[in-house]
Structure 1
Amino acid sequence: MEHESLFNATDVKWMQGDEEYGDIVMSTRIRLARNIQHFRFPRAFSEDEAFKIDQLISSALLDSDELDQTFEHFDMSRMPILQKNVLVEKHLISPQLAHKERTGSVLIARDESVSVMINEEDHIRIQCMEPGLNLEKAYFNADTIDRCLEEEVPYAFDSEFGYMTSCPTNTGTGMRASVMMHLPALMMTEQIEQIISMMPRLGMVVRGIYGEGTSAVGNYFQISNQVTLGKSEEEILTDLQSIAEQIVQREVESRRALLEHASVVIHDRVSRALGTLRYAQFITSDEAANCLSNVRLGIDLGLIDSIPTAILNKCMLIIQPGFLQQYVGTMLKPNERDIHRASLLRTLLTDNHLHEKGDDSYDV
């Protein structure tokens, strides 16, 4: 993997969706939290311990002959802030790891479907992402890497409580399974709050686009398991699959209702959003994300001519502050970002550009 490709490419595998749920379920993620025996947790360890942990985990994966993936190691202490932000926006690292000045690092697979964060909240955070609703595949990939590591490093494990983690809520399986869903119709019909409020009773939680503590930008929500202790990995996956499918059905029904009872209003909303993206001279990331959400809904409902999914996904990434500044090559003030963002969107969404091929970087 070349660094330039990682930080510039906008053709991200996990954003491609799938045939069955692609317009509603953008991606699936499995995250496994693990710690190594005889080392203090990251909140209390020394820099020497952190270095030894990094060496153990990196060697186990970089030298493995059992894995299909090829990894590259990135040290957070040596990475410019813009590149850290790009990795957060690609969901390859957490905001918490990006803010670490010293002890953190990450191993990223060539196709960006796997990342292993080292010395974040726990010693190891294995993260596997798949497009669409593919919980079993994502879990299989995460479990494969987990088994490979466990052969090389002894995990902190208790026969009664399971995997020991820094945060008690992760103790047990140490697994967080999540699906990222695009739910504009449930937002418009004001049903989303009801869904969010009922999730804890089902052992689930709803978060924003970048996980805990973030907002639902562009009508994207992450639904994930809240309980890791007392349930097996298989039970967690089955429950989340069922809940995700039910939410998909409610979104589909809400879209049909909007078409039936408010088609003119929805068509106007979609058209205004597309017009803003194509002609605005100044646009914030939140406004751009909401407009792109409306355009995606309009395409799914057949209200406007189709724009390639690759272009929409590229727009979703490139409007983010980190991507935008990485493209420009320098830090920008907020108003400067808004001007550059509008310019890039105008270029990406013109008729001529929509028909170009090989559009997998931000070379617009």
Structure 2
Amino acid sequence: MRQHAVNQHDYRRNQVEPRKARVDILSRVGDCLVAPRETNHADNKQNQRDPEVGLLPPAHAGGIIPCGRYTWVMTPPQTAHWLMQPAPDRDVVISGRVRLARNLVHYPFPHRASEAQLHAIAQTLRDALRAAGLNREVELSRLSLQDRARLVGARVISPALLPELPHRWALMDETGGVVAVINEEDHLRLQITCAGWQPQVLSESLLAWERALNRMPLSWARSPKLGYLAASPVNLGSGLRLGLLMHLMGLQRARQITRWLEALQALGCHTRGLYGEGSLAFEGYVQISLLGRRDPLDELLARLRGTLRTLIDAEREARIAIGRDALEEEWQELQATLRHSESLSLGTTLRALAVYRMRAMLDYHDARRDFADALLFEAAVYPPPEPEHAAKERADWLRRRLGTAGTA
């Protein structure tokens, strides 16, 4: 059976051509991995620098998009319900995620499949995943661009699914902590997310879902020599990727973040901005990921654990040097910009959320910190160039949301 799977998935014939560079979500924020903090707070200047991406207010807030007999509830609190759970190291590690990539035998990868084949893949996987408990689903082509952009911001789908493509689906459990995306780069991308740094939770959840996938009446494309096959050669093997979303604002403002990212890269980690490949780290928001290749998750966690603990301690120490008076002055300037500007750039918005979050942590105010993280996951992320109305809606959204929470 395994050899038959390899024959059906002739890897040399289906080898992926060099992919076009993914959308550079923050392409004009800066020219290096870690963008410098703005010294000029004039919003009109910011708008000239990074007009591509929008952070928009929640579309269809409280609405339900029907999809057959299943529904997808679009309200952000339910989309990121897992984010509100208490977790260790939440001040530095916003979330941890593990992702599995799988492909079915007898079908080409999505970028080579016909529409009929994509439909068959989607139907097969939807039936199996619903039986496994992922009962909230939506066909992405039925959503507006704005709704798809919100799912990118919530890290439910990647920017690759922003275009309106047929037979692309997303399914999730009731908490939003387990998401399955169908017909993205691979037939199935299953991701498990939790708040903070909880390696044991990730490990146990992954083991349960690996067993669930293996119990399904499906044949996964796998080679005895290469492991699980994937559309991208870098994902061959276990199909596993471990990722962390971190806030390293202290190290960035102390100008120490670059050497830490280089140390992580020496361990084999990939460092990216908020929105994955092609995006930049900004105001200390950075993603760190580690590919499994042939290694199980426990080995990935062991490789990362010591360095990550040292990094968390270094970030906390660096925050001590952040002057509270200077931070308050910066916050007052941002509030003035928010009150008087009709539009906001992405850079100014992320900076406002980062400063709001840092003030909350210096005050040991966990609720305000978690609220800042929730706002980060509410943001709508568009392909460049973003719609003309996005900058104005971004300003209205942030004024309204920060106003309801209080900004003292």
What range describes the TM-score normalised by the shorter chain of this pair?
A: 0.7 to 0.9
Superimposed CA distance per residue, residues 32-77 of structure 1 (whole angstroms, 9 cap, x where no aligned partner): 011112222222222222222112111112124xxxx442222223
Deviation at 1:213, TM superposition (A): 1.5
CA contact (8 A) 1:42 1:123 kept: yes
Could you say which residue in structure 2 is the equivalent of 1:354? 405
Superimposed CA distance per residue, residues 286-331 of structure 1 (whole angstroms, 9 cap, x where no aligned partner): 211111101211221239x887345423433445356xxxxxxxxx
- SS of structure 2 residue aligned to 1:213: coil
Structure 1 residue 291 corresponds to structure 2 residue 352: yes
Could you say which residue in structure 1 is the equivalent of 2:241? 176
- CA 1:166 to 1:321, structure 2 compared with 1: closer, same or farther past 3 Å? closer
| Paired residue type of 1:320 | A
- SS of structure 2 residue aligned to 1:308: helix
What stretches of structure 2 of length at least 5 have no aligned partner? 1-62, 67-71
- SS of structure 2 residue aligned to 1:180: strand
Could you say which residue in structure 2 is the equivalent of 1:131? 195
Distance 1:167 1:342 in 2: 39
CA contact (8 A) 1:7 1:86 kept: no
Distance 1:147 1:135 in 2: 18
| Paired residue type of 2:376 | M
TM-score with structure 1 setting the length: 0.82
CA contact (8 A) 1:16 1:132 kept: no
- SS of structure 2 residue aligned to 1:3: strand
**Structural RMSD (CA):** 2.7
Alignment coverage as a number of residue pairs: 334
Structure 1 residue 6 corresponds to structure 2 residue 73: yes
- CA 1:85 to 1:340, structure 2 compared with 1: closer, same or farther past 3 Å? closer
Structure-to-structure mapping, 1:72-221, within 5 angstroms: 72-99=136-163, 101-151=165-215, 152-221=217-286
Higher helix share: 1
Could you say which residue in structure 2 is the equivalent of 1:40? 108
- CA 1:45 to 1:206, structure 2 compared with 1: closer, same or farther past 3 Å? same
Distance 2:373 2:309 in 1: 23
CA contact (8 A) 1:209 1:222 kept: yes
CA contact (8 A) 1:278 1:349 kept: no
Superimposed CA distance per residue, residues 263-300 of structure 1 (whole angstroms, 9 cap, x where no aligned partner): 54344334433554466543223211111101211221
Structure 1 residue 320 corresponds to structure 2 residue 320: no
> Match for 1:300 among 361, 383, 407?
361
Distance 1:310 1:234 in 2: 28
Deviation at 1:124, TM superposition (A): 0.9
| Paired residue type of 2:356 | V
Could you say which residue in structure 2 is the equivalent of 1:362? none
- SS of structure 2 residue aligned to 1:209: coil
Distance 1:143 1:51 in 2: 29
CA contact (8 A) 1:33 1:174 kept: yes
| Paired residue type of 1:313 | D
> Match for 1:28 among 96, 103, 108?
96
- CA 1:342 to 1:271, structure 2 compared with 1: closer, same or farther past 3 Å? same
Distance 1:35 1:294 in 2: 42
Could you say which residue in structure 1 is the equivalent of 2:52? none
- SS of structure 2 residue aligned to 1:239: helix
Distance 2:103 2:277 in 1: 21
- SS of structure 2 residue aligned to 1:286: helix
Could you say which residue in structure 1 is the equivalent of 2:19? none
- CA 1:309 to 1:189, structure 2 compared with 1: closer, same or farther past 3 Å? closer
What stretches of structure 1 of length at least 5 have no aligned partner? 323-331, 356-364
Higher relative contact order (CA 8 A, sep 6+): 2
Deviation at 1:172, TM superposition (A): 1.3
| Paired residue type of 1:8 | T
| Paired residue type of 1:354 | A
Distance 1:338 1:288 in 2: 10
Segments of 4+ moved more than 6 angstroms: none
